[in-house]
Chain A
Amino acid sequence: MKYVLGFCLAIVYWVGLASASPGLERAQKSFWSGKFGTAAATYRSLIETHPRQADLWFNLGTAEAQAGRMGQATHALETALWLQPDHKDARFNLDAVKAWVLDKALARSQAGTLVLPGSDDLGTGLLSSIPLTPIRIAFAVSWCLLFSCWYLLMSTARRRASLSLVLIITGLVATCAGGLLISRSYIIDDARYGVLLDDTTAYRGPGQQYDTQAQVSNSVKVRLGGEDGKWQQVTLPNGQGAWIRSEHVAQIGTGN
């Protein structure tokens, strides 16, 4: 009986492997043979069925970068990081791609209004300027202290005044830090971001009849706003609002 069960499990595993891996193997084979465009296309088709696999997005971004499509590469790597923020390889490759785009853009153009990819892509005011980790640490420490003091206050009859004071202070700190975290989650984390796939022109309104706002390099991360037909409202890294044709922008976390 156990041999039959083992055989069945082996069959299921083999069927699963056979159904998932051919595309992956084909993509890897294309990549290692230098056909980066083909590899990217194969990864993209795999992503359609596995959109939340961070490694697939990472491989896609790397293949796109090797194929020279930096905007697509940035979008894929940003999505990989969005799915898995501690993906170190994706972080490294994204930095490398951005640095490459920056160098090329600076060497190519001296236009004063050219918006380049940078580390301040999320610059949306005070909340984003406060680093997240210190707030989390402050909240965690004050949270622990708050409950410790509370427990001590309930279980001891000594030094109740001092404990009450510490309890109030830690409660206030926890409230402030928690408020900041909640505000961030509502204001920033809920925001949709996108990546520019090509060098493009940003206008002041949804159409080419409006004045030009800036020339924007590919790989620039923008905050997405509303849409008007084929035009996408974005917030550029320098905080300016602008309109860009939707075909040039890909939302992070989606396939297009």
Chain B
Amino acid sequence: MSVALSNIRRRFLVMWAVLFAPLVGQAETSLNVSVSPKRIEIGQTVTVNVQVAIQGQSNNQGSLEAPSLLDWTVVGQFKRTTYDSSRQQKITILDLQLQPSKTGQLKISPFSLKVGQKRYKSESVIVTVTQAGGQTGSPPSGGQSSTTNPSDDSAPTGGAPDEYAFLTWEIDRSAVWLGEPIQAQLYIHYRQGLRVSRLDPGKIDLSGFWNEESKGESGRAQRVQIGEYAFIKDSIAQYTLYPMRSGQLSLPPIEAQIELSSGGFFRRGRAQTINRAAPKLDIEVRPLPKAGRPKNYRGIVVGKTRLRGRIDRRRIKATEGVELSVELRMEGLIANVPEFKLPDSPTYRVFPSPTKTQSIQRGQRKINIRKQVWLVRPNQAGKMVIPSLKLAYFDPGTGRYKTARTQQYTVQVTGQSQPKMGDGSTDGSSRKEIKLHSIRDSIDLDVAASGSRTPTWFMSVVAGTPAVFMLMLLLGMVRKHRFATADERAAKNAGSAAKQRLAQISKSKDLADGYRKTHSIVVDFVSQRFQVNIKGKTFDQITTLLMKTGVSKATARGLTEQMEAIEFARFARAGDAGDLQQTVQRVNELISQMEAEGQ
């Protein structure tokens, strides 16, 4: 098999030589090989750094040849190429990670680089490989860690208890407190290249422990070097063990039938069944101390514990409820912890919901979680106080008792409480206790509800706003139109307005005032009807202006004469009421004539 492996390594390195080919040139070429470290333990690796530097560009094909590495396994490789433009130098670096397959003084023979006709060679390097310190390949154990060590047995194969396969127990601590969790794993080691086709460990007796098997959490198989041989270490079973009595307990010796075969999947080799046993493993269990034990300590509650409470609201109505959830997280056995119960109170009623329990794995630790949820409903308005919940436990880390607790919650309850419901066991007995509003005695059966869910105010706003907007626009338009046609309307109505005013004058007894008003009516009429201003104009000018508007000369002349007569009567204070009547009559006639003649 080792011959086959060396062939594979050789092929790998020849492949590297091909990959290197375009990178190697002929100008001032150098080849340097360094190895670090030069002293390792079996199972560790060395890094071989191969550096090829070439001056300038070269199109020549070259090749790097690696030595035969029969005592080594290539476990990693890395290549990078840089170009130094200032020195016109191309540098290619190859890092190989090699793992020794045996102990002793192992030699890495020179690497060879051939460029054109020239050949460069590196120096050979000696690496000293010693036996591993721990020899099992497991990580160095801490203070409490205790790992079974196959090399502790008489080692016929240089450290491993068996050449082909063996079983071992591994635990994370060998001295614990009563109830303190222990992580235990049963492993099989079998030689690399072999395959376990069947394994039957039988029933494992773990009396003295409460055990919980962790399925599917055993992790990946790993390769370990024990003595001269490389083994595959694979987990068979993983347990979280809680010792239930103090004193000396032990994990039992396991004897299992193992069927081993060689070859790969398509090349099934010979199968052989062997019997192998895992040695028993002792665990020292200390009793819990009596000193400092709290009075409310119940059961075997051991392990790091955390209690966390939460309520969903701090302020509620009297008809509502708050949800109180309490989460207990502990590394110890949660089955030993009784479920929490909220104490009775006249201020609230408690409705529990199902308790949920689950476990999660945090690295090597298994954490048990229990979540309890209550619906707490107030009986009255005011402050509702939900008391703190406590749990006494033993902390194995410090060796002392401690208490985990939730905080006390105060909830503000507002409003009136719910109509008190009956709590009877049957519908018949409890229904009388429902306080309901009474039925309607008078119902108008002809009135049907619309079923409309849109409030009236909303519909009023939605429909009313555009309506008001349109109305305002309409009013604006009307106002604008009236303003634009004011003069026209005034001209149109000038005659009738003047005649109305004249009718008022005929009743007047003050003659002077009557003549003044008559004069004013004539002036206003002419101004409005013909849009001309006759104030301050002579009678001839007035006659001319009126004639321009279409009034006949006779009428215009008559008007100016009448105006003259009015002026005379007004200032001379002559005549009587009959004269004023005649004047008004005459003005009326003139206005009618001008209405008929004017434009």
Q: Which residues of A contact B (CB under 8 A)?
A: 20, 24, 28, 31, 46, 50, 52-56, 58-59, 62-63, 65-68, 70, 82-85, 89, 92-93, 95-97, 99-100, 103-104, 106-107, 110-112, 136, 139-140, 143-144, 146-147, 150-151, 154-155, 189, 253
Closest A-B pairs by Cβ, 9 of them: A52-B448, A83-B449, A68-B427, A106-B351, A89-B437, A59-B439, A140-B461, A147-B469, A68-B431
Given A31, A54, A96, which contacts B435 in the complex, CB threshold below 8 Å?
A96
CB-based A-B contact count at 8 angstroms: 118
Q: Which residues of A contact B435 (CB under 8 A)?
A: 96
Q: Which residues of A contact B351 (CB under 8 A)?
A: 106-107
Is there contact, CB below 8 Å, between B476 and A155?
A: yes
Is there contact, CB below 8 Å, between B448 and A140?
A: no
Given A28-B441, A55-B443, are A151 and B473 neighbors across the interface (CB < 8 Å)?
Answer: yes
Q: Which residues of A contact B375 (CB under 8 A)?
A: 106
Is there contact, CB below 8 Å, between A151 and B448?
A: no
Q: Which residues of B contact A46 (CB under 8 A)?
A: 445
Is there contact, CB below 8 Å, between B353 and A96?
A: no
Count contacts on B: residues with CB < 8 A to the other chain: 45
Chain B residues 351 to 374 lying within 8 A of chain A, measured CB to CB, are: 351-354
Give A100 to B428 CA distance when docked, in angstroms: 13
Is there contact, CB below 8 Å, between A100 and B422?
A: yes
Is there contact, CB below 8 Å, between B440 and A59?
A: yes
Given B423, B428, B446, which contacts A68 in the complex, CB threshold below 8 Å?
B428
Q: Which residues of B contact A (CB under 8 A)?
A: 319, 351-354, 375, 418-419, 421-423, 427-428, 430-432, 434-441, 443, 445-451, 453, 455, 457-458, 461-462, 465-466, 468-469, 472-473, 476
Cβ of A37 to closest chain B Cβ, rounded Å:
11
Interface-central residue, B351, B443, B472, by most chain A CB under 10 Å: B443
Given B319, B353, B428, B440, which contacts A112 in the complex, CB threshold below 8 Å?
B353
Question: Nearest chain-A residue to B453 (Cβ)?
Answer: A85
A/B interface sample: 29 pairs, CB < 8 A: A20-B446, A31-B439, A52-B449, A53-B445, A58-B440, A62-B439, A65-B436, A66-B431, A66-B432, A66-B434, A68-B427, A70-B427, A95-B319, A97-B434, A99-B421, A100-B421, A100-B422, A104-B421, A104-B430, A139-B462, A140-B457, A140-B461, A143-B465, A146-B465, A147-B465, A147-B468, A147-B469, A151-B469, A154-B473
Question: Nearest chain-B residue to A46 (Cβ)?
Answer: B445
Is there contact, CB below 8 Å, between B445 and A24?
A: yes
Is there contact, CB below 8 Å, between A62 and B437?
A: yes
Q: Which residues of B contact A58 (CB under 8 A)?
A: 439-440
Cβ of B460 to closest chain A Cβ, rounded Å:
9
Q: Which residues of B contact A63 (CB under 8 A)?
A: 439
Given A62, A140, A253, which contacts B462 in the complex, CB threshold below 8 Å?
A140
Give A97 to B433 CA distance when docked, in angstroms: 11
Cβ of A230 to closest chain B Cβ, rounded Å:
26
Q: Which residues of B contact A143 (CB under 8 A)?
A: 461-462, 465
Give A83 to B450 CA distance when docked, in angstroms: 6
